[in-house]
Structure formats: C-alpha cells, structure tokens
Amino acid sequence: MRLKLDEAITYGTHEEALRLARQGREAASAKGFLAEEEYFKGQEELLNGNFASAIEHFDAAIKINPQDGAAYNDRALSMVELGIIDEAFYYFDKGIEAEPDYATIYHNKGWLLNNIGRHSEAIRYFNKALQLEPHRAVTYDNLADALLSLRDYRGALSAYRRVLELLNPDSCQEIRQEIGRQIDRLEKILKQEKP
C-alpha cells in the first residue's frame, strides 16, 4: 500500500493519494497495526496540508516502530512544508540510520539539498537512491534537474531520457511532454556547443 501511495503522490492525483492513504489507515486499523495506522493518519494529514498534525502522527508511528524509515522521511517532509529546514535534515538522517535500504529517503534528502542549491550533494543522494532502486523515474528527473543546475547538459540529457524510458507510457502525459521539451532544449544547447 505504501508503494502505491508513493506512486500516487508522485505521478497521480491528490484525490487518488488521499484515497490510498485512507485505505491504508483502514486496513491497518482492521488488523490492529497501530504503527501503520498512525503512519497512514500522518499521510492523510500531510496530504491535507495539516503538517503539524502529520508530524504528531509520524512521531506516534516512530515511537511504536523506531525502524520505520518512511515515518522519519515523511516527518522531515512535513517539517520542510513548515519551513523547518535544518531540523528536517536530522530526521532524514535518522530515517537513513533506521532503514538504510529505503531509496525514497535518499531521494527526498537529495530533493531538499537540490532545492536549497546544494546540487553536488544532492547528486550523491540521488545516485544512492538509484543504487537501491535503479528504476525510479522520479529520481532520474530530480537528478537531471541537479545536473542542469550545474550546467552538466550531457548528464542532464541522459537522465531526462532515462525518465522517459521508465515512465508508464499510458500515464503522466503532462510530465512526459515537459520532459520532452527539456530534452529538445538540451539537444539544441549541446548542438550549439559543438565546435
């Protein structure tokens, strides 16, 4: 359920993500999985923009299951939404410590680093996420953005092409079109650079 929710958050609709979070909460509740129930409650609050409440639920999930890297990750994302950037890094790192094979947390830490202009550091985290999950289109997309910021046009072009290979061709048409425009732009830049 968590993977489906992550996919819906990344490439689906808000309504779809909320529906999946609700289903996850209900299923966890029915089975008496308290940590999972708190996690999905946190997801619902996060999706509804109630970031402080989301943090409370993620904290409850972490208290029950301190090895839940996703709960640390989503707590950090809620903090970012509240503008608490430096402390968010602490929770990304706690999540990495708790669940070192969880690619999403490396991706999201890279995303934050990239957004605050620390592109080279971001690339290291994107590459770690891709080592763990080599077919993460969203990570290639963010990697391309970081490479573009560093003016590594060839690297960005390669990463954007990889995104198109990995995206489901039947969905995400707007995203596919935007990436196609980026590829066209980069191909023109590289063509002009040739001596």
The full set of domain ranges for the chain reads: 1-100, 117-195
Q: Answer yes or no: same fold for 1-100 and 117-195.
A: yes
Query: CA dist 34 to 30, 77, 78, 166, Å?
Result: 10, 21, 20, 35
pLDDT in tens, the chain (195 residues): 888 888 888 877 899 999 999 999 999 999 999 999 999 999 999 999 999 999 999 999 999 999 999 999 999 999 999 999 999 999 999 999 999 999 999 999 999 999 999 999 999 999 999 999 999 999 999 999 999 999 999 999 999 999 999 987 776 788 889 999 999 999 999 999 876
Query: What is the residue type of 47?
Result: L
**CATH superfamily, domain at 1-100:** Tetratricopeptide repeat domain (1.25.40.10)
Number of H helices, E strands in the chain: 11, 0
For the range 40-44, what are the long-range contacts, defined as Cβ-Cβ under 8 Å and sequence gap of 24 or more? 40/1, 42/71, 42/74, 42/75, 42/78, 43/5, 43/17, 43/74, 44/18
Residue 156, class by beta-carbon neighbours within 10 Å (0-12 exposed, 13-18 middle, 19+ buried)?
buried
Q: Which CATH architecture has domain 117-195?
A: Alpha Horseshoe (1.25)
Q: Global pTM?
A: 0.91
